[in-house]
Structure 1
Amino acid sequence: MFKLLLYNGRLITANGILESAYCYMEDGVIKEYGVGDIQVSEDTLEINVANKYISAGFIDIHIHGGGGYDFMDANVESFLGVANTHIKYGTTSMCPTTLTADSEHLEKVLTVYEQANLHNSKGSKFLGLHLEGPYFAMNQRGAQDPKYIRNPDYKEYSRIVEMSPHIIRWSSAPELPGALEFGDFLTDRGIIAAFAHTEALYDDIKLAFDHGYRLATHFYSAMLGVTRKNAHRYAGAVEACYLIDEIDVEVIADGVHLPKPLLELIYKIKGSERIVLITDAMRAAGTHVNKSVLGSLHDGIEVIVEDGVAKLADRSAFAGSIATANLLVRNFLNNTKASFPEVIKMITENPARILGFAHRKGKIEKGYDADVVVFDDNIDVYLSIVEGHIKYNKLNFNSNES
């Protein structure tokens, strides 16, 4: 049983920030937190965080890669490489995310996920798989490979869901033939139905909402706003997300995908309750390369990395972000009027709620999993803890615990 005490910190809770605070963890869960001193046993590892912030660990529900690895590589080394990279930036748990591919490749990723989960001892915890595609609108494919894009196929998706209990969410275009039945299928099985890479208009999204679609994948990216047809204006998926209060929206706050005015608008309308910050990171995240590959090294798309983002070689579209979780927090804080606790909620409590883990993750709360991150005023991470175990340590102390 490992016992860990963080003290002399600024602890971020759902109700605000506690000064000169502590957080005590034991047996993988948070046992106590508060202000001032606490008596602990001699076998407790005590860490003075020197007035840095203590927060619930960041949860990334949409991430493809990092550190030179991508989940579509479909091998254990790459799964662990991504997890070991993003733990350094405060992501204590994540949903490995796929790209459009054929059934054989997707099924291989499912199999490797189980193997990697057994060996993931040093990085961010895997909470379940996010399948992004292949059921997308061709005209909104972005950097997704067009040769794999297709309509929902019951025989295909039912087989995929049957073979793995680890699929936690699936993104698709809800206006496609069969997409509403697909939403019902996912919802009936407790899998989150999200809409993405879509040409849906307001009425399409409203109907999709009735069939279980509750989450907008990378809001604004690869979806329509107000559009005109035969001189008439129609509200798009963007406006639907604003008008339907219960829809949650993913925001890539990397400083590139969405400019400051749009971040301000999203916060003003959706508020801190319905925004979830995501990296949508590809393999170049956490590296300093200027060229990379989106998707599998075997048959992925070559991209360039410049201006803080990955782009297609012809610069016609973004090809995924190179963001890390701490960067999202920093950018949203600097570009909106959201308070510090509100922004932290967008990358802790909100994703935990969406994924169904609100009862044990996403908060500094007694009895919750001890997923904790320590960072400074610049949101530079110094300590990442997963279920009470230190996975990343940039503080000046020695620990044999891992």
Structure 2
Amino acid sequence: MSSSSFLLKNCTLFIDDKITYNANLLIVHGKIHSIHEDDELDIDVETWDMQGKYVFPGFVDIHVHGAHGQTFNSSSVEIWEDIMLAHALAGSTTLLPTVMTDTKPNMLQALAVGTDLNRQGRVAGIHLEGPYLNFEQRGAHDAKDLLLPQDDFIESLRDYFHAIKLVTLAPELEGMSSLIQTLHAHQIIVSAGHSVANAQVIERSKQIGLSHFTHLWSGQTLLTKHGPWRNLGLIDIALSSENMTAEMIADGFHLPEELVKIAYRCLGKDRLCLISDASAGTGLPQESHFVMGSSEGIVKEGVALSVCGNSFCGSTSFLTDIFRFCVHKAGIPIAEAVQMATSTPAKIIGIDHIVGRIEPGRNADLLIMNEDLTVYSVLQQGVKVKEKIRSYDST
């Protein structure tokens, strides 16, 4: 599918919560030109018969660390490109590469790569997860690299504010209010994560720019009791919130199907998005070791674990794997699960006018799936995503 104009015929097309059967999608110069429900189209272009296959917008992953042993904490453009390709082949045509807590030089070098790729229009922006996280809820983030907002690292970050689209932080840390206000002023989405913030802190932070919650139930406190009194955990605050958005790693490990159902019922398809949180272990065999920031992980029992075994270290899933779990295991209607992987995350980071929907004038970023929700083909700007074949000089 590389012609300047072609027709995808006999598609099962998903546009928001509407499903159109036997639809025909005309692609011209890498963009969606028009949608037709008439089988008798008098258009002289190359035609591809989809035979009823599902055609979705390309998935949008706003929390993704890596794949195949590599992460976006790297300073290598080639490594970033390899990770992007791996996720594109799996159906995620738009990424918010996530740089996690690491040494200051490593984070800044990774941010520089992401900023250049963002300037070229190759990534939607950058998600910075850390280093301003709570020690108690740090998960796989290395404690020695955690910082407080008073640190001069913030000044170094300013050079990358135009590319950073999302920052995960613990709003209860001393001096955090000023940082939240600064990020919000630069139109950066501020998310509470790896945090022990109580309801009062979240409400105050919401008033100055906090709008999102990072990976529900992961790095979040739970309900506790002191005598007869119940103190809300961060997860309770997130699920009962109004107008705020959230993300979940619905891989069957971070969240079993019961918790996925609870999050979906509380927040719905318009405020809850699916993320992969894919680690460097994604795509690696069992017992493989890998590095995430300044932390080490291992692929074990179907998921990524820190080597000490005390926490998850990201997932080993692509976003299409998460999507399948939501539909097949958690029973979320397929059209709504599609929105949670496309238009909802796109809206959260402010790019829903560009990606996340099948609509004339938008880029032809499309995910074509079989009835069992396995990937059949992926298009980026109307071109089929293919494996990159490298040639190595053997001399």
Cα shift readout 1:126-161 (whole Å, capped 9, x = no counterpart): 100000000010010000011001111374224312
Structure-1 residue corresponding to 2:87: 86
CA contact (8 A) 2:148 2:173 kept: yes
1:226 counterpart letter in structure 2: L
Report the secondary structure of 1:84's partner residue. helix
What's the C-alpha RMSD, in Å, of the aligned pairs?
2.0
Structure 2 counterpart of 1:387: 381
Distance 1:270 1:328, change over 3 A: same
TM-superposed CA distance for 1:286, in Å, is: 2.2
Show the 5 A alignment for 1:1-400: 2-37=4-39, 39=41, 42=44, 44-116=45-117, 125-153=122-150, 155-163=152-160, 165-229=162-226, 232-296=229-293, 300-392=294-386
Unpaired stretches in structure 2, ≥5 consecutive residues? 388-395
| Compared CA separation, residues 373 and 202, structure 1 to 2 (3 A) | same
After TM superposition, the score normalised by the length of structure 2 is 0.92
Q: Over residues 359-393 of structure 1, what are the superposed CA-to-partner deviations in whole Å (9 max), with x where a residue is unaligned?
A: 12111112222211100122211111112222249
- Which residue number in structure 1 is paired with residue 393 of structure 2? none
Answer yes or no: is the 8 Å Cα contact 1:374–1:382 preserved in 2: yes
Instruction: Tell me the distance in 1 between the aligned counterparts of 2:107 and 2:114.
Output: 11
Q: Kindly indicate whether the alpha-carbon contact (under 8 Å) linking 2:281 and 2:298 is maintained by their aligned counterparts in 1.
A: no
Deviation (angstroms), 1:98 = 0.8
**Alpha-carbon contact 1:143-1:312 (below 8 Å) kept:** yes
- How many correspondences in the alignment? 385
What is the CA distance between 1:354 and its match in structure 2?
A: 0.7
Q: Which amino acid aligns with 2:321?
A: L
Partner deviation per Cα, 1:254-301 (whole Å, 9 max, x = no partner):
1110011111111111111111000000112123242222325xxx33
Q: What displacement does 1:316 show? A: 1.3
Contact 1:172–1:197 under 8 Å retained in 2:
yes
Moved over 6 A (4+): none
Post-superposition Cα deviations, 1:298-343, rounded to whole Å, max 9, x if no partner, equal xx33322122211122321111101111111110112334211100
3-state DSSP of counterpart to 1:18: strand
Looking at structure 2, the residues matched to 40 and 60 of structure 1 have their Cα atoms a distance apart, in angstroms, of: 37
Q: 1:119 to 1:179 in 2, by over 3 A?
A: closer
CA distance in 1, matches of 2:182, 2:366: 35
TM-score (norm 1): 0.90
Deviates more, 1:341-350 or 1:264-273: 264-273
> Is residue 134–residue 170 contact of structure 2 (8 Å, CA) maintained in 1?
yes
Give the match for residue 400 of structure 1: none
Which residue type is aligned with residue 75 of structure 1? S
Give the letter aligned to residue 52 of structure 2. N
The question of whether the paired residues in 2 share the 8 Å contact of 1:12 and 1:364 is answered with yes
The residue identity in structure 1 corresponding to 2:230 is: R
Report the alpha carbon displacement of residue 49 of structure 1 after superposing the two structures with TM: 1.5
* Distance across 2 between alignment mates of 1:45 and 1:161: 48
Instruction: Letter of the 2:29 partner, please give it.
Output: D
Tell me the SS of whatever aligns to 1:139. helix
Contact 2:327/2:334, CA 8 A, preserved across alignment: yes
Secondary structure of the residue aligned to 1:273 is helix
Deviations 1:201-238 (A, max 9, x none): 12221221112111111111011121234663211211
Question: Alpha-carbon deviations, 1:89-121, whole Å to 9, x = none?
Answer: 11001011011123222211122224556889x
CA contact (8 A) 2:161 2:186 kept: no
Provide the rounded CA distance (Å) in 1 between the counterparts of 2:61 and 2:215: 12
CA pair 279-38 structure 1, distance change in 2 beyond 3 A: farther
In 1: Cα distance, 2:292 partner to 2:139 partner: 13
Letter in 1 for 2:34: E
Listed as ranges, the gaps of 5+ residues in structure 1 are: 394-402
**Does the C-alpha gap of structure 1 residues 15 and 317 become closer, same or farther in structure 2, counting only changes over 3 Å?**
closer
Q: Secondary structure at the match of 1:8?
A: strand
Question: For the Cα contact (< 8 Å) 1:383–1:392, is it kept in 2?
Answer: no
